[in-house]
């Protein structure tokens, strides 16, 4: 029997907004728990570390989810990550996407989606509410992908067909909400699924830490709090936040599971 049940909230669908994360944080107390805010276009889309997120109108999904019952801020990114992955696997089964720690969706060495989780409410020094935004490259054509500042892909580029954004956005809202209920009933089960979807464990990667220093080594494991356990020159290190670059030559994409 489920310990937590809440009704599925109606999504907030906007035409143009500066950032769905900003809108969700501004209206956090007025909107129901689990609400998805989505926009056709963002004028100031943001990624991690303040990076701009390419947000052309009517081509991609730009959405943010409000979570009012989170034990920890990073959990919002975890549940949106696995929820989005499940949604995309259903809508585009031929696209072999996976999670790249800490909060991206990739196909091979190319970025398909990025997430940004931010605190929305802090009480007595503890996060009690958060928003988790996601941008998914859906119908972005290959020529426009070239303008992205890193290797990127889209569902269109992968499957050579366009997707109905309205239907896909609705599926995303339903799937993420389902994972939110899973999290409220068993956070451990949700986090276990999130860890298993991080396929780069055991692979050679490059890391740039928060100080800008570069590291080369092996992604060994994910700790209980979501940190990366990283082996560099035989020494184990722990990273809570950094930029990860895939070493393409170290990954056998045909056998990556």
108 pLDDT higher than 60: yes
For residues 207 and 198, the answer to whether their CB atoms sit within 8 Å is no
Structure tokens at 199: 């396929």
Euclidean distance between CA atoms 20 and 35, whole angstroms: 12
224 pLDDT higher than 70: yes
Mean pLDDT of 198-213: 89
Mean pLDDT of 208-216: 89
Q: What pLDDT, on the 0 to 100 scale, is given for residue 159?
A: 96
Mean pLDDT of 96-117: 93
Determine what percent of the chain is predicted with pLDDT higher than 70. 88
Euclidean distance between CA atoms 154 and 95, whole angstroms: 10
**CATH 3.40.930.10: does it fit domain 12-196?**
no
Mean pLDDT of 171-188: 93
For residues 165 and 11, the answer to whether their CB atoms sit within 8 Å is no
Residue 243: strand, helix, or coil:
strand
Euclidean distance between CA atoms 207 and 197, whole angstroms: 19
Count, residues in the chain: 257
Q: Higher-confidence residue: 148 or 151?
A: 151
Which residue matches tokens 């052309």?
Answer: 56
The segment(s) of the chain belonging to CATH 2.30.30 are 204-250
Euclidean distance between CA atoms 119 and 70, whole angstroms: 10
Residue-wise pLDDT for 113-134, tens only, equals 999 998 888 777 777 899 999 9
Structure tokens at 251: 């990954």
Identify the H or E element spanning 117.
Answer: strand 110-123
Structure tokens at 95: 């696209």
Euclidean distance between CA atoms 144 and 77, whole angstroms: 27
Euclidean distance between CA atoms 242 and 102, whole angstroms: 8
- Report the CATH fold assignment for 204-250: SH3 type barrels. (2.30.30)
Euclidean distance between CA atoms 50 and 36, whole angstroms: 22
**Shortest CA distance to 257 belongs to which of 216, 202, 177?**
202
Mean pLDDT of 7-29: 92
The segment(s) of the chain belonging to CATH 3.30.930.10 are 12-196
């Amino acid at each position: 029997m489920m310990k937590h049940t809440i009704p599925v909230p109606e999504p907030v669908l906007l035409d143009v907004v500066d950032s769905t994360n900003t809108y969700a944080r501004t209206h956090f107390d007025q909107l129901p728990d689990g609400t998805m805010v989505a926009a056709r276009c963002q004028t100031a889309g943001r990624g991690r570390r303040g990076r701009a997120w390419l947000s052309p109108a009517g081509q991609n999904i730009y959405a943010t989810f409000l979570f009012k019952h989170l034990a920890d801020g990073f959990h919002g990114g975890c549940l949106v990550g696995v929820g989005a992955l499940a949604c995309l696997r259903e809508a585009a089964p031929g696209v072999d996407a996976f999670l790249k720690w800490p909060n991206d969706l990739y196909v091979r060495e190319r970025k398909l989606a990025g997430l940004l989780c931010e605190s929305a409410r802090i009480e007595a020094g503890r996060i009690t509410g958060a928003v988790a935004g996601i941008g998914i490259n859906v119908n972005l054509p290959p020529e426009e992908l070239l303008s992205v500042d890193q290797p990127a892909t889209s569902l269109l580029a992968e499957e050579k067909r366009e997707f109905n954004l309205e239907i896909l956005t609705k599926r995303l809202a339903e799937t993420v909400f389902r994972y939110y209920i899973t999290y409220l009933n068993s956070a451990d089960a949700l986090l276990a699924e999130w860890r298993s979807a991080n396929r780069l464990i055991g692979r050679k990667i490059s890391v740039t830490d928060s100080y800008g220093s570069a590291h080369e080594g092996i992604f060994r494991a994910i700790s209980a709090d979501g940190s990366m356990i990283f082996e560099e020159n035989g020494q184990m290190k722990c990273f809570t936040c950094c930029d990860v670059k895939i070493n393409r030559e170290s990954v056998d994409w045909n056998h990556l599971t």
